[in-house]
Structure 1
Amino acid sequence: MEFVTAYFSDQLVSGFITGATVHVVIAQIDDFFGINVPKFSGIGYLFKRIYSIFMHIRETNFYTVGLSIFGVIFLYLGKTLMTPFLNKCLQFNIPIPYELLLIIISIIISHYMNLHANHNVPIVGKIPTTLPEPRLPRFDIIIDCFPYAIGIAAVTVAIHISMAKMLAKRLKYHIDSKQVN
């Protein structure tokens, strides 16, 4: 592992985090606009996805965009304004689950405005109340999944090393790349 971590410079870590952020944003942007774009894979899939998003941008569901913007603003104001204000007023630090509150508020808004039926806002739908029955995995797809598993493992290692290096730099402590646990 020391051999791998030796090549993770600050610029590489910063670029990696920026690239991961771009991938996450591109993966979620169609849901933000309420448009349906096909899923792509393989070389250049990110550019195909961006092109597809621009081709379908006229299909934007403004109710979905409004709900999305409301959610972003609610979370931002809750974390940056309300939490410090409440901690100052109450004299102790109480974590407030703004994400859970947002889900509850969104469900109430969606239900009473009937957003799914009236404005085609996608909803999760029925959620099973029981656990699925245990069964053996499908062994016929292992060959197909193996390259993706290797990629996911490499990205996971890179993310953890990147985060450790970033936090070490910010908090001014040394990381021993030979350390196993």
Structure 2
Amino acid sequence: MLDQIHIPSLIISLCSVTFLIFSQHFIQPRLANIFDFAIPYELILVIVGITATNFADLSTHHSIKVVGNIPTDFPPPALPRFDLIPSIFVDSCSIALTAVAIHCTIAVIIKQRYHYNFDNWRELYSLGFVGIFASFFPVFPVTSVFARSVIGTATHSTQMTVCFSSLALLAVVLYIGPALEYLPKCVLASMVIVSLYGSMMKIKEAKNLWPTFKCDLVSFFYK
């Protein structure tokens, strides 16, 4: 097992994880009083990784796997494959119910916090329309994300923020995507691991759930 470890990728991964954890937990708290914005350490790591891989040709000399070719065009719309319905019907219903529950929960939280008007049927119509439209493209199921919703409502007051964020994402897909071809996969994996650090640390809450809420403890490990 150990003889299958790729040493250059391991070294890059350890350096990337160390940089992200050290910068987020030690450097950022000290710079919070100086700067009014959070320094994008992940972006810095991506730029350094791409630059080092491109100029040092790490993919050739040290067999570092990179992201590779990233398509810059959008696939044409196509009808869904209805022949797959019998095999994915149960899973699709579970995903749909979960998506609706998450979306409505976030909508209620935002409504209570900012005193917005909330109509259950309108939310369901909107979510259903977007889901039907997305079914013509190879995308993931549509739902809401609490973190993005909170950030969007906390820093902006209108729906124009969605337009600007969508345009920025479109620019990344069409123009900035090719620049990520030389991003090492080990750097990308390190960013994912560090982003899950907070979730993994929540395992400490399990000892508090056992004597109080055993059902929540079972649900905690199920998730």
Structure showing greater relative contact order (alpha-carbon pairs closer than 8 Å, 6 or more residues apart): 2
- The normalised TM-score by structure 1 is 0.47
TM-score (norm 2): 0.39
